[in-house]
Amino acid sequence: MKILLKHGRVIDPTNGTDTESDVLIVDGIIEKMKPNIAAGKDVQVHDLNGMIIAPGFIDMHVHLREPGFEHKETIETGTLSAAHGGFTAVCCMPNTNPAIDNASVVRDIRTKAKQVNSGLVDVFPIGAVTKAREGKELAPMLELAEAGAVAFSDDGAPVSDSENMRRALEYASMLDMCIIQHAEESSLTKGGVMNEGFISTSLGMAPIPSIAEDIMVARDITLVEYVQARYHVAHVSTAGAVELVRSAKAKGLPVTCEVTPHHFTLTDEAVRSFDTNTKMNPPLRTRDDVEAMKEGLRDGTIDVIATDHAPHSYDEKQVEFLYAPFGIVGLETAIGLAFTELVHTGILSVEQLIEKFSINPRKILRLPSIKIAEGEKTNITILNPNYEWTVKTANFKSKSKNSPFDGYKLKGKAWGVVNNGVIYISL
């Protein structure tokens, strides 16, 4: 298959490229890059005037729900949702049933991912830190790594036991891999459903205090300093946690973190609607926390934007707020929210946005970097930064529609992706 992309702006921070160019792709390989390439016979031509060609985006925090919860999402629907949202790769978290705590589950997920949607989206499993994610006994980490796991996490729950966390960090370090922590001191969050503060008090909701996150990040950084292992904070949400990561980086410790679009966009004021799609863990925080997320992104403390895509069925969310499960879908709104909240407001440049969606997560996970150059395999995300659109959850490709952003007007969207010899056009 031959594809000719005309008049695109190629931005590749890895090699410093920022130039307008045509790109000719033949059987998944970039054959030519230069202005005014003539279209030959049997060439699929797309005019990308005003659009950006970037290294393929990866979401390093996704819940594909398969195996075990296929009524919420499957590998097929989740990867289609990813492609529609502008991602050529995702990392799937291990809170499946069974959990991703042995080699056979890792291999099954990787095999299935190559069979669906023509293998368009690469899927990299995250192995569990502990068996069945119960926090009691370490999972066979070497076996998981050899099967293809790219990091370890008990996401959905923290690794609470300090001895287990220390050993997990040490073993991961031997494999040059990182531990991804769902940072929460659980003794402080029992029964909590939203951020602790004025609004939780006024609504009479059981609270989740910000210090629950801060305490766990502080403990973990102390362990990192002791054992010198790589550590990544998932979905950071408090100003205190961002400051702890900033201080750790200043000491030269191998600590990184990610933030979700909903945590740099919404505050706990949204919970006043009692919309169960505003219930997530960590919860929506205060305006000061949101501003801390944006400052962390701007100054480089926050390395990655990841969605924590967490599908739940319609029935599961159509209950009282207290009983609804935590989590929202995010793959199909992430880029629009990032452009709207961060790029068009001057907090991030387009190059920085690409770093946080593509370059940095691959560095953290030790995945090969993507190069947009002649002779390289094509793995690109194509962005229309000025496309104005309204979120309609009914049109999502994800099996679940649980998003608080239905009806939001956004500016910026993925036009499409090309990966593994397949092109997918969203617009």
Active site residues: 308
Long-range residue pairs from 342-345, CB within 8 A, at least 24 positions apart, any chain: 342/264, 342/294, 342/297, 343/385, 343/412, 344/385, 344/411, 344/412
Under 8 Å CB-to-CB from 129, ≥6 apart: which residues? Answer: 138, 139, 141, 152, 153, 154, 159, 164, 168, 179
Q: Are 91 and 125 in contact (CB under 8 A)?
A: yes
Under 8 Å between Cβ of 203 and 272: yes
**Upstream peptide bond of 98 is cis (omega within 30 degrees of 0):** yes
Asked whether 259 and 297 are in contact (CB, 8 A), the reply is: yes
Distance, CA of 68 to CA of 66 (rounded, Å): 5
Distance CA 172, CA 224 (A): 12
Compute the C-alpha angle 132/135/140, nearest 5°. Answer: 55
φ/ψ (deg, to 5) at 178: -115, 155
Tokens encoding 108: 């099954």
Asked if residue 119 lies in contact with residue 113, where contact means CB atoms within 8 angstroms, the answer is yes
Q: E strands within 288-354? A: 304-305
Q: How far apart are CA 324 and CA 316, in angstroms?
A: 6
Which of 353, 372, 363, 384 lies closest to 259, judged by CA? Answer: 353
Tokens of 311: 């599908």
Q: Backbone phi, then psi, for 28, in 5-degree steps?
A: 85, 0
